[in-house]
Chain A
Amino acid sequence: MTCIPKSKFHHPQLPVNDLGLTYRDYEGSMSTLCAGCGHDSVGAAVVQACFELSLPAHRIAKLSGIGCSSKAPTYFLGKSHGFNSVHGRMPSVATGANLANRELIYLGMSGDGDSASIGLGQFAHVVRRQLNMSYIVANNGAYGLTKGQPSATADMGSVMKGGKEVTDEGIDLVSLALSMGATYVARSFSGDKDQLVPLIKGALSHQGFAFIDVMSPCVTFNNHQGSTKSYDYLRDHMESLISADFIPHKSEITVKTEPGVSRDIFMHDGSVMRLKATDESYDPTNRNSAQKAIQKHIDNGEVLTGLLYLQSGSSHLHENLNTVCEPLSELSQKDLCPGSEVLETLNNSFR
């Protein structure tokens, strides 16, 4: 049951962050996902990223749809408001929430069924709308709660647990996000915390739409021989051309970057994503270059991970709409209601 609270007892010497909080302060309730579920590792990475960034948890809004992935926000950031909406429709709820209050941090947590199957439309549109949010898909290619049916990200030719081969083309969410105009696009693996945590920190610091496709194996329904979303398959086929380090804006940048191999990209808040590429021909600030590299790896049966594309300084929905800087939810009646005198003028315009 998700209502089981975790024990808050912790070692008195646990490290604290700038807010004086420990890692434990960022946890949620006890997980009810299967033991070994990749989603719990994603949640743990979110906790670590928020702890290390010293984010005030109550200023984060967690939004999700329906499915195992969408239950996961209950298990992290217990002091944040959460919204478990309807299947595949989290992006529109996030759009409304963000419109109402541009000052909070929006963290969307979704799954492959939620975002690539039932919610493909809303996913595509929230990307092209440039909503300022971080959107994580815990991607395991299968429906968990309904017991193992393939989702739209299941690769063609892979075999589901019952032995049935997937005959439909799989949707690559990273390629889709790129083509829809996402300005921060990453892929990672729930089993690789070292890679995932900096990617989440970068996403949370990014202004604009940040997307992370996290391969997050389903231990119960999609972790067998023949699956392309199993722990073993992913470990064997993952390729990282670019490693990304997140350097918070407070730290002094001391290490000189080596030209051509490593480059620093300044984020909106002054923090830095330090990218180290092993393939010099791949430019992660160039959309075409990223798209080519992703496609090449798909063709080779490999899963390209890392920060695949980053465009800093891009605009987002509020800027495009030219809304006021203060949250719309906090405007007073005086700011909103034109009053009776104006109405009299309007009445005259109807005569």
Chain B
Amino acid sequence: MKHLTSVNDFVIKFANVNGTGSASANNLFAKAVFNLGVPVSPRNIFPSNIQGLPTWYEVRVNENGFLGRRGGGVDVMVAMNPQSLADDIAAVLPGGYFLYDSTNPLPNSLRRDDINIIDIPFTDLCRQQFSNTKQRMLFKNVAYIGALAALLDIDFEVFTQLLNNQFKGKEHLITSNTTALELGYVYAKNSFECPVGIRVEKSDAVGNKILVDGNTASGLGCVYGGATVCGWYPITPSTSVIESYTRYSERMRIDPATGQKRFGIVQMEDELAAIGVVIGASWNGARAFTATSGPGISLMSEFLGLAYFAEIPLVLINVQRGGPSTGMPTRTQQSDLIACAYASHGDTKHVLTFPANPKECFEFSADAFDLAERLQTPIIIMSDLELGMNDWLCDPLEWDDAKEYDRGKVFTAEQLDNLKAGERFGRYNDLDGDGICNRTYPGTHPEKGAFFTRGTSRDRHALYTEEGDLYVDNMERLTLKHRTAAKIIPAPIIKINDKRNKMAVVYYGTTENIMPETLLKLEKQGLKFNSMRLRSYPFSDEVAEFIDSHETVYVIEQNRDAQMRMLLINELECHPKKLIKILHYDGMAIPVEAVVGGIINHLGADNTAKTGND
């Protein structure tokens, strides 16, 4: 039989029952690999459920830093859930390793002779070692990590170090966890030839990188961006953005003299109220935000229209999940583009940004407050479950202490006093020709600058009007402002490997994770592409020029309807025929093979000549 062999390049998957405490053990595994300096990308695959259903944790270990889903089967499976045993054993690649709890032996019907089956009776081992029922359940998880340390040759010291850090001051937890680790380690060492063909070796490929999930980084970005007000409503997968903002605010935003909070977080009764809070606070001069997911976007749409039309800054973090309707609440997609770009009735257009990694989650969140106040409009940050709820290896977060918040065009009492005789403050008067007008905060001046904020049409002085000319004047100005936005929002990342190349790929968000590997694989087959990662909407001139300068552009996205392609066609009027859809939307992150296969299929076996430089 074949034995898969590799060093620092494999995919391992843990099959567990949710609610059994497997998450922290699995996390320990990923952290150990990371601490050995080997790039790692763990991924939670979990149900919308509290307890009892199958859950998986898939970890890709890759020395080259390829972090996207490889696709295909797995090299190592740790099968701890009898419910999913059949699927789990089927997922192992020929020559791969199948580690399972042999307290209940594997039925013969499921046995495969093309894989290496490793039987360890974890339940029995823990039953003998621990007296308490809860411990028996929890430490089964730690025991299989111990077994993996032996099987995959992972330095045991790394685990003890991690446990020491994690349970500092709780000696009994360190002892019991170490016992459980050793239990699995010793059993594996004594019963099997260790290591197996797959090994983890210390490396320096991680460098100074960090391992953090996107939602944690987003919440932290809101702290750094100066958000003081947050109205929110719980919804998967966005809730942990608020948890992060709360955690870091509690730590870093307490007035040392009084112990009082320099922030206000209110869990509202629904998403409508959540965004209502953000609008009220932003109108009144605070930096405010909320986070939600698809169903919340639908509910917030009316308010988004108000904020667009009344020109109120706001920051909204949308951690996208599988739609439509309740859809797949614990699976990932990029399927809210159209819903967000044009949210609400009437002619509305919003500003979107597309972070691709936790560092961008942090930066885009912090910068969104500047953009929102500069542009006086909603900024919607389009994250997704894949990015938000999984740990990612990324560059350390950075902050420039010299950077000052851009509070946008706000007239002060002094500026109002300095208005010349006969000059009148006009809330919707575009003095600079960029579509952005001056606002005043409530309470600024006893006599001047007050106005009525409304969702109805109004003139340049914020007075209600149904005059067609004045309405059109205002709408044209909003269009101009949208064009201004395109100049200051995150620019696309364009890579031109050859100016004469007429083939390109366009992608955004978490698709970034697979692209280095994907492009390399295509290159090995003689296919070279220029590439553009979109990072915001509305599209800048650069985006239009890139598309114009290529004949075939593959638009890679994680939704059924090719929503980014729709936006490109609609906004740039590019020819639909040159924009080829590459789609993946089964709820799991897009794998390398989906893009490689998609592009090759499109080109056709005998058509590859077309890809060369002409």
Contact of A92 among B276, B444, B454 (CB under 8 A): B276
A329 lies within 8 A of chain B by Cβ: yes
A121 lies within 8 A of chain B by Cβ: yes
Contact A82 B452 (CB under 8 A): yes
Contact A56 B446 (CB under 8 A): yes
Binds B, one of A205-213, A218-226, A302-310, A334-342: A334-342
A21-54 toward B: CB 8 Å interface, digit per residue (1/0)?
A: 0000000000000000000000000000000000
Q: Which residues of A contact B442 (CB under 8 A)?
A: 58, 61, 80-81, 97, 101, 104
State whether A101 and B398 are in contact (beta carbons under 8 Å apart), knowing that A92-B231, A92-B272, A329-B285 are contacts in the complex. Answer: no
Contact B302 A317 (CB under 8 A): no
B447 lies within 8 A of chain A by Cβ: yes
A94 to B367, CA, bound (A): 26
Q: Which residues of A contact B192 (CB under 8 A)?
A: none
State whether A79 and B446 are in contact (beta carbons under 8 Å apart), knowing that A95-B280, A96-B279 are contacts in the complex. Answer: yes
Contact A100 B450 (CB under 8 A): no
Binds B, one of A146-154, A233-241, A250-258, A320-328: A320-328
B255 lies within 8 A of chain A by Cβ: yes
In order of increasing CB-CB distance, the 9 nearest A-B pairs are: A92-B276, A96-B280, A100-B286, A81-B442, A329-B285, A96-B277, A3-B463, A96-B281, A350-B210
B264 lies within 8 A of chain A by Cβ: yes
Q: Which residues of B contact A101 (CB under 8 A)?
A: 284-286, 441-443
Q: Which residues of A contact B401 (CB under 8 A)?
A: 339-340
Contact A92 B273 (CB under 8 A): yes
Contact A79 B284 (CB under 8 A): no
A346 lies within 8 A of chain B by Cβ: yes
Residue of A nearest to B257 (CB): A324
A262 to B63, CA, bound (A): 83
Contact B286 A329 (CB under 8 A): yes
Residue of B nearest to A351 (CB): B210
Contact A84 B453 (CB under 8 A): yes
Contact A324 B283 (CB under 8 A): no
Among B269, B397, B400, find the residue whose CB has the most chain A CB atoms closer than 10 A.
B269
Q: How far is the CB of B357 from chain A (nearest CB, A)?
A: 13
Q: How far is the CB of B599 from chain A (nearest CB, A)?
A: 35
Q: Which residues of A contact B224 (CB under 8 A)?
A: 337-338, 343
Contact A96 B231 (CB under 8 A): yes
Contact of B280 among A74, A98, A328, A350 (CB under 8 A): A98
A266 lies within 8 A of chain B by Cβ: no
Residue of A nearest to B302 (CB): A86
A125 lies within 8 A of chain B by Cβ: yes
Contact B264 A79 (CB under 8 A): no
A103 to B252, CA, bound (A): 24
State whether A324 and B268 are in contact (beta carbons under 8 Å apart), knowing that A84-B452, A333-B405, A339-B399 are contacts in the complex. Answer: no
Q: Which residues of B contact A85 (CB under 8 A)?
A: 276, 279-280, 306, 455
Q: Which residues of A contact B451 (CB under 8 A)?
A: 81-82
B356 lies within 8 A of chain A by Cβ: no
Residue of B nearest to A348 (CB): B210
Q: How far is the CB of B202 from chain A (nearest CB, A)?
A: 15
State whether A323 and B263 are in contact (beta carbons under 8 Å apart), knowing that A56-B446, A340-B399 are contacts in the complex. Answer: yes
A1-22 toward B: CB 8 Å interface, digit per residue (1/0)?
A: 1110000000000000000000
B238-270 toward A: CB 8 Å interface, digit per residue (1/0)?
A: 000000000010001101001111111110111
B187 lies within 8 A of chain A by Cβ: no
Contact A328 B446 (CB under 8 A): no
Contact B282 A96 (CB under 8 A): yes
Contact B464 A337 (CB under 8 A): no
A84 to B441, CA, bound (A): 15
Size class of the contact patch on chain B: 35 or more
Q: Which residues of A contact B266 (CB under 8 A)?
A: 95, 99, 129, 317, 321
Q: Identify 7 residue pairs between A and B in the complex whose beta-carbon atoms are under 8 Å apart, listed by A's number.
A: A56-B446, A83-B453, A83-B454, A89-B302, A99-B281, A125-B268, A343-B224
Q: How far is the CB of A289 from chain B (nearest CB, A)?
A: 29
State whether A89 and B443 are in contact (beta carbons under 8 Å apart), knowing that A81-B450, A100-B284, A122-B269 are contacts in the complex. Answer: no
State whether A99 and B229 are in contact (beta carbons under 8 Å apart), knowing that A58-B445, A86-B306 are contacts in the complex. Answer: yes
Contact A74 B276 (CB under 8 A): no
A101 to B441, CA, bound (A): 10
**How many A-B pairs with Cβ below 8 Å?**
238
Q: How far is the CB of A82 from chain B (nearest CB, A)?
A: 4
State whether A331 and B280 are in contact (beta carbons under 8 Å apart), knowing that A79-B447, A89-B272 are contacts in the complex. Answer: no
Contact A318 B264 (CB under 8 A): yes
Contact A336 B262 (CB under 8 A): yes
Contact of B276 among A1, A96, A322 (CB under 8 A): A96
Those of B201-241 within 8 Å (CB) of chain A: 210-212, 220, 223-226, 228-229, 231
Q: Which residues of A contact B597 (CB under 8 A)?
A: none
A347 lies within 8 A of chain B by Cβ: yes
Residue of A nearest to B440 (CB): A81
Residue of B nearest to A3 (CB): B463
A114-134 toward B: CB 8 Å interface, digit per residue (1/0)?
A: 000000011001000100000
A95 to B266, CA, bound (A): 9
Q: Which residues of A contact B453 (CB under 8 A)?
A: 81-84
Q: Which residues of B contact A249 (CB under 8 A)?
A: none
A339 to B400, CA, bound (A): 8
Q: How far is the CB of A322 from chain B (nearest CB, A)?
A: 5
Contact of A100 among B210, B252, B269, B280 (CB under 8 A): B280
Those of A51-80 within 8 Å (CB) of chain B: 56-59, 61, 63, 73-74, 78-80
Q: Which residues of B contact A340 (CB under 8 A)?
A: 398-401
A23 to B262, CA, bound (A): 38
Contact A83 B283 (CB under 8 A): yes
Those of B418-453 within 8 Å (CB) of chain A: 440-447, 450-453
A347 to B455, CA, bound (A): 43
Q: Which residues of B contact A129 (CB under 8 A)?
A: 266
A30 to B138, CA, bound (A): 72
A93 lies within 8 A of chain B by Cβ: yes
Contact A121 B270 (CB under 8 A): yes
B465 lies within 8 A of chain A by Cβ: yes
Contact A3 B229 (CB under 8 A): no
A253-279 toward B: CB 8 Å interface, digit per residue (1/0)?
A: 000000000000000000000000000
Q: Which residues of A contact B281 (CB under 8 A)?
A: 96-97, 99-100, 328-329
Contact B278 A96 (CB under 8 A): yes
Q: How far is the CB of A77 from chain B (nearest CB, A)?
A: 9
B303 lies within 8 A of chain A by Cβ: yes
Q: Which residues of A contact B228 (CB under 8 A)?
A: 100, 328-329, 331, 336
Contact A324 B262 (CB under 8 A): yes
A85 to B278, CA, bound (A): 13
B288 lies within 8 A of chain A by Cβ: yes
B456 lies within 8 A of chain A by Cβ: yes
Q: A92-B280, A93-B279, A99-B266 are in contact. List 14 more A-B contacts (CB 8 A).
A: A82-B451, A83-B283, A85-B280, A89-B302, A92-B272, A93-B283, A95-B266, A96-B277, A129-B266, A329-B284, A337-B223, A338-B224, A340-B400, A342-B252
A61 to B284, CA, bound (A): 9
B512 lies within 8 A of chain A by Cβ: no
B396 lies within 8 A of chain A by Cβ: yes
Residue of B nearest to A92 (CB): B276
Q: How far is the CB of B250 from chain A (nearest CB, A)?
A: 11
B157 lies within 8 A of chain A by Cβ: no
Contact B283 A346 (CB under 8 A): no
Q: How far is the CB of B232 from chain A (nearest CB, A)?
A: 12
Q: How far is the CB of A89 from chain B (nearest CB, A)?
A: 5
Contact A325 B456 (CB under 8 A): no
Those of B375-395 within 8 Å (CB) of chain A: none
